[in-house]
A and B are shown apart, each in its own frame.
Chain A
Amino acid sequence: MSSEKPRIGVFVCKCGTNIAKVVDVPAVAEYAKTLPNVAYAGWQLFTCSEEGQNIIKDHIAKHKLNRVIVASCSPKLHEPTFRRTIAEAGLNPFFFEMVNIREQVSWCHMKQKDEYAHATQKAKDLVRAAVYRAALLEPIGSTTQKVPPVCLVIGAGIAGIQAATMLADNGFDVHLVERSPALGGKAAQLGLVFMTDSCGVCVPPRYGEMARKCLSKRVILHDPKIQVHTQTEVTQFEGYIGNFQATLKTHPRGVDVDTCTLCGKCVEACPVEVPNELDYGLGTRKAIYLPFPQAVPRAPVIDFDTCTRCGKCVDVCPVKAVHLDEKPKETEITVGTVIVATGFDVFKPEGMYGWGEYPNVLTQFALARMMDPLGPLEGQLQRPSDKQLPKRIGMIQCVGSRDPETNPHCSRICCQVAMKHAWFIKEHWPDTEIHVFYKDIRLQGKDYERYYLECQKLGVHFHRAEVTDVKQGANKSLTLAVEHHSGRKETVPVDLLVLSAAVVPSEGAQELAHTLNMEVDLTGFFREYHLKLAPVDTTSDGIYLAGACSSPRDIAESSFMAAAAASHAAIPMSKGEVQVDLAKSIVDESLCIGCANCFVVCPYSAIKMEGGVAKVIEVACKGCGICAVECPAEAIQLRHFRDKQILAQISGMLANVEVPEK
């Protein structure tokens, strides 16, 4: 605590008319002059402007101010700005206090025209509270943390691969972890993807290469900077930026990738046949199988859950690459940063429109597998029940999306997918009749309108209507009861019904969020730090998001976001260190009783128990204050938000009402 007498400067901002329209700003400034320890008070049109900041610096010098209060907008917006301003004038940046009289006063009272006087009073009360608090502020320093140039990328879909290759091209080491046996994620299962109508495994080239590359030909596996871990999960994770420790558990593949020649004899020899989970029930695979023809790494994999260990594959392998006794292995790694790119899953519309009950009801993703020339049906469009070409196809949009009972969010890609499939079917099987039932068509994004116009030109029927019932008739054909938004009701017979099922968080996302200390939002997707200002950051420093794990996204957006995440992760790694201010929890070790409550409740694993007392890892601490609240011995205080500072602020707020004792 500084021993000099506080000399507080109060700067009230008009923010153009944003604040001044509602709050009498000069009156608030006049009032501030009457408060204790206030050496200067005045108002400006835009305090955050260059001139506004210079005025603050001038007054700090002129009136020997040692505390500065700005009453303007949210601290989220300009607290860093003004902290820098006063630091430039020679004050410790934590001798700054911000009062939010825009979001919390003028904007929220803007519509109550006869309440403007009260709004001004509220602004005065808030300023008074800040003045009481400012007198008790203390200077706070900072520390540095080394960040090694190693990044862990979780998920090897489009986003994960993009981020990993960008980081590798920037010279950083990457651990690329993928849960499934093959790279490429959901995109690798698609025969064609919009906008380019090229195949899903066709991905952008690496830096310096001009031609786009097929995923299977990319040298990702042989890049000395990228270590690929397939069939691997992150089982344990702790630490903080610059010092994350992760335990990776790799399940056995059973086939040695380096010696395998991909002759396929083992797959032929395998007597076990089960449905292929990648094909949504359309095809089967063996217990030893190549997930899909272009799968990378280029070797079959053994599914040890269904394998009978008969040994036939071992016998036929000419290079002795099959090992039935391979054990799972654990690897411990230390990384500086983490990029989470775990993607999404397709919603299972159980009990909806006859899905799972009638054979001719599919999801768009199953249709995509069907029409993939390298898929289980080699690109044939057919009804699953009788293998015949469907003559009439129905598509229902927003299945499990924009629906309060299942998922409230818009899944972002289903309109595009339906449009792409309708167009593709019309191009290749022009006699097919297609009916699309939609709530709204949402096709924002570069070039998407083209599909819509094409589809209209080719005669796809669009109905703004709700399908209220689906009945299966003779020949396993379906009859849809349709209610148009105009109120007209009709029945539409179709041979095949395709549901545009929602995009939902990837299976296991909740557990991963728990392991990595990330937040999830109401829809179950990972929460970004700030939707607009920090869309790839998370509340944990050094952990970044890429792709559809934080919201439904298409390939192009995932690609942008992966590039953004890679460049964010590169910042601390290229600097080699991060600056961390110490406005964090602090333990009075003489009062700590070692009860470990703080250790248990800390959401950021920022507290360790050492020698019977709690210790704060300042780099990991986010200053949330939960530990300070729960500490039964009140041995923990949060710097910059100490009890006495908060109580002074409350006393200030209530100074004209009644001051509580103590």
Chain B
Amino acid sequence: MTVRLATMGMSGCSGCHIALLDTGVALLDLLKDVELVYSYPIVDVKNPIPDNIDVALVEGSVRTDHDQEMAKEMRRKAKFLIAFGSCSAFGGVNGLANTFDSQAGVKYVYYETRSMGEQRQVPSEHVPTILPENLRLSDVVKVDFIIPGCPPFPDEIAKVLGALLAGETPSLSTKSVCDECPLEQLTAAPTQLRRIYEIPEPNKCLLSQGFICMGPATRAGCKAECPSRGIPCTGCRGPAETVWDQGVAMLDALAALEEKELAEFKLPRITSTFAKYTYASSELDKIRKRVKQK
């Protein structure tokens, strides 16, 4: 039986679709049993979303009213809806826009940027209206599964789709990135923080050395690609299974530091360091919304 697969992009960079194509040979194997019925980033489509979709991969966050409508329509037509990538799953980097006023952003783009020339007005046709908040897919419709990552790992995409084709329930790792990390564990809490440009001691745990490595709070499955190359994890795969809030958990990880150390370190923004991909779904953003309502 052929599985009807659809993919769709909302507000995002199409990077997740590139990752899908990057599954390479595995994709060819998958396509034996798959009919790609709708995928405007990959194949030319102008038609509306077809009915009877078995599996839908939805990339990007919900930023406009168009995104919202498309998400709802896809939900109506798809049996199994997957939030594809961290924008869709957690709000993604786009979510950091929630710390700004969206209308001020619109005004800046259409009135204050030089490239606008003489036409200084917000277009009313052919351009969707921006929503006041950047949302993740599950804020709008029910989501059956997520494939996290910015972008997701091709191996994992193939694994999830393969499981679905085999009629199995897909699963993600429940561990944290540290679990897969090959660096030598130091079992010592950092006593001072270090900047990203500083050169770490090779093959030793980055967090213990004082780099803000989000590994402990981030879901495994990436084989610790970044930390194993000396680059601190930025947490693109969202919170690990047991972690309630990724940013808060990571701040907790620095609890053993002297109180003044974090203040003196002068992070440009706490949100973009500790909730870079998850701000729109974080407890911090929930609090901000409540304050705003009042």
Decide if A595 is an interface residue (CB 8 Å cutoff).
yes
Q: Closest Cβ of chain B: how far from A641's Cβ, in Å?
A: 14
Does the CB pair A634–B185 fall under 8 Å?
no
**In whole angstroms, what is the CA distance A595 to B255 when docked?**
11
**In whole angstroms, what is the CA distance A635 to B252 when docked?**
13
**In whole angstroms, what is the CA distance A599 to B205 when docked?**
17
Does the CB pair B217–A633 fall under 8 Å?
yes
Decide if B240 is an interface residue (CB 8 Å cutoff).
yes
Does the CB pair B187–A609 fall under 8 Å?
yes
Decide if B176 is an interface residue (CB 8 Å cutoff).
yes
List the B residue with the shortest CB-CB distance to A662. B244
Which residues of chain B in 138-186 are interfacial with respect to chain A, using CB atoms and an 8 Å cutoff? 175-176, 178-179, 185-186
Does the CB pair A629–B187 fall under 8 Å?
no
Does the CB pair B176–A593 fall under 8 Å?
yes
Decide if B208 is an interface residue (CB 8 Å cutoff).
yes
Does the CB pair B253–A591 fall under 8 Å?
no
**In whole angstroms, what is the CA distance A631 to B250 when docked?**
9
Decide if B49 is an interface residue (CB 8 Å cutoff).
no
Which residues of B sit under 8 angstroms from A662, Cβ to Cβ? 244
Does the CB pair B216–A593 fall under 8 Å?
yes
A595-B253, A600-B256 as given contacts; A633 in contact with B189, CB under 8 Å: no
A591-B175, A612-B185 as given contacts; A597 in contact with B253, CB under 8 Å: yes
**In whole angstroms, what is the CA distance A629 to B216 when docked?**
14
Q: Closest Cβ of chain A: how far from B220's Cβ, in Å?
A: 10
Q: Mark B246-287, 1 if CB is under 8 A from A, else 0.
A: 000110110110000000000000000000000000000010
Residue from the list A591, A595, A632, A660 in contact with B187, Cβ < 8 A: A595
Which residues of B sit under 8 angstroms from A600, Cβ to Cβ? 189, 255-256
List the A residue with the shortest CB-CB distance to B181. A593
Does the CB pair A591–B255 fall under 8 Å?
no
Decide if B52 is an interface residue (CB 8 Å cutoff).
no
Which residues of chain A in 588-629 are interfacial with respect to chain B, using CB atoms and an 8 Å cutoff? 588, 590-591, 593-597, 599-601, 609, 612, 629
Which residues of A sit under 8 angstroms from B286, Cβ to Cβ? 660
A591-B242, A632-B216 as given contacts; A599 in contact with B175, CB under 8 Å: no
Interface size on A, residues (CB 8 A): 23
Which residues of B sit under 8 angstroms from A591, Cβ to Cβ? 175-176, 179, 240, 242
List the A residue with the shortest CB-CB distance to B243. A634
Which residues of chain A in 629-662 are interfacial with respect to chain B, using CB atoms and an 8 Å cutoff? 629-635, 643, 660, 662
Which residues of B sit under 8 angstroms from A635, Cβ to Cβ? 242
**In whole angstroms, what is the CA distance A91 to B187 when docked?**
40
Residue from the list B175, B188, B205, B252 in contact with A632, Cβ < 8 A: B252
**In whole angstroms, what is the CA distance A594 to B208 when docked?**
10
Q: Closest Cβ of chain B: how far from A396's Cβ, in Å?
A: 40
Residue from the list B175, B185, B240, B242 in contact with A594, Cβ < 8 A: B185
Chain B residues touching A, majority SS: loop
Does the CB pair A595–B189 fall under 8 Å?
yes
Q: Closest Cβ of chain A: how far from B90's Cβ, in Å?
A: 13
Q: Closest Cβ of chain A: how far from B280's Cβ, in Å?
A: 14
Q: Closest Cβ of chain B: how far from A594's Cβ, in Å?
A: 5
Decide if B91 is an interface residue (CB 8 Å cutoff).
no
**In whole angstroms, what is the CA distance A286 to B47 when docked?**
104
Which residues of A sit under 8 angstroms from B185, Cβ to Cβ? 593-594, 612
Residue from the list A588, A601, A633 in contact with B256, Cβ < 8 A: A601
List the A residue with the shortest CB-CB distance to B217. A632
Which residues of A sit under 8 angstroms from B217, Cβ to Cβ? 632-633
List the A residue with the shortest CB-CB distance to B139. A661
**In whole angstroms, what is the CA distance A662 to B187 when docked?**
32
Which residues of A sit under 8 angstroms from B186, Cβ to Cβ? 594, 596
Q: Closest Cβ of chain A: how far from B185's Cβ, in Å?
A: 5
Does the CB pair B189–A596 fall under 8 Å?
yes
Decide if B215 is an interface residue (CB 8 Å cutoff).
yes
Does the CB pair A632–B253 fall under 8 Å?
yes
Number of A-B contacts (CB under 8 A): 79
Which residues of chain A in 478-507 are interfacial with respect to chain B, using CB atoms and an 8 Å cutoff? none
Decide if B207 is an interface residue (CB 8 Å cutoff).
yes
A590-B175, A597-B256 as given contacts; A633 in contact with B240, CB under 8 Å: yes
Does the CB pair A595–B252 fall under 8 Å?
no
**In whole angstroms, what is the CA distance A504 to B215 when docked?**
48
Which residues of A sit under 8 angstroms from B179, Cβ to Cβ? 591, 593
List the A residue with the shortest CB-CB distance to B184. A612
List the A residue with the shortest CB-CB distance to B216. A632
Q: Mark B181-203, 1 if CB is under 8 A from A, else 0.
A: 00001111100000000000000
**In whole angstroms, what is the CA distance A662 to B179 when docked?**
25
Does the CB pair B189–A599 fall under 8 Å?
yes
Which residues of A sit under 8 angstroms from B250, Cβ to Cβ? 632
Which residues of A sit under 8 angstroms from B242, Cβ to Cβ? 588, 591, 633-635
Which residues of A sit under 8 angstroms from B215, Cβ to Cβ? 593
Does the CB pair A633–B244 fall under 8 Å?
no
Which residues of A sit under 8 angstroms from B253, Cβ to Cβ? 595, 597, 630, 632
Which residues of A sit under 8 angstroms from B207, Cβ to Cβ? 595
**In whole angstroms, what is the CA distance A660 to B255 when docked?**
26
**In whole angstroms, what is the CA distance A634 to B216 when docked?**
9
List the B residue with the shortest CB-CB distance to A600. B256
Which residues of B sit under 8 angstroms from A612, Cβ to Cβ? 185, 187
Q: Closest Cβ of chain A: how far from B252's Cβ, in Å?
A: 4
Q: Closest Cβ of chain A: how far from B176's Cβ, in Å?
A: 5
**In whole angstroms, what is the CA distance A394 to B138 when docked?**
80
**In whole angstroms, what is the CA distance A600 to B252 when docked?**
12
Q: Closest Cβ of chain A: how far from B91's Cβ, in Å?
A: 14
Does the CB pair B187–A633 fall under 8 Å?
no
Which residues of B sit under 8 angstroms from A597, Cβ to Cβ? 189, 252-253, 255-256
Most buried by A among B205, B240, B286: B240
A594-B187, A596-B187 as given contacts; A633 in contact with B255, CB under 8 Å: no
**In whole angstroms, what is the CA distance A597 to B217 when docked?**
13
**In whole angstroms, what is the CA distance A111 to B78 when docked?**
60
List the A residue with the shortest CB-CB distance to B246. A632
**In whole angstroms, what is the CA distance A599 to B256 when docked?**
9
Q: Closest Cβ of chain A: how far from B59's Cβ, in Å?
A: 23
Q: Closest Cβ of chain A: how far from B246's Cβ, in Å?
A: 9
Most buried by A among B188, B205, B244: B188
Does the CB pair A633–B188 fall under 8 Å?
no
Q: Closest Cβ of chain A: how far from B275's Cβ, in Å?
A: 14
Does the CB pair B240–A634 fall under 8 Å?
yes
Q: Closest Cβ of chain B: how far from A636's Cβ, in Å?
A: 10
Does the CB pair A595–B208 fall under 8 Å?
yes
**In whole angstroms, what is the CA distance A410 to B44 when docked?**
86
List the B residue with the shortest CB-CB distance to A610. B187
Does the CB pair A593–B178 fall under 8 Å?
yes
List the B residue with the shortest CB-CB distance to A609. B187
Most buried by A among B178, B205, B216, B250: B216
Instruction: Sample 12 A-B pairs with CB under 8 A, ordered by A number.
Output: A591-B175, A594-B186, A595-B187, A596-B186, A597-B253, A601-B256, A632-B250, A633-B216, A633-B240, A633-B249, A634-B249, A643-B244
Given contacts A601-B255, A632-B217, A632-B252, 13 further A-B contacts (CB under 8 A): A591-B179, A593-B185, A593-B215, A596-B186, A597-B189, A597-B256, A612-B185, A630-B252, A630-B253, A630-B256, A632-B176, A660-B286, A662-B244
Q: Residues of B at under 8 Å CB distance from A?
A: 175-176, 178-179, 185-189, 205, 207-208, 215-217, 240, 242-244, 249-250, 252-253, 255-256, 286
Top 8 A-B pairs, shortest CB-CB distance: A632-B253, A600-B256, A632-B216, A593-B178, A630-B255, A634-B242, A630-B252, A600-B189
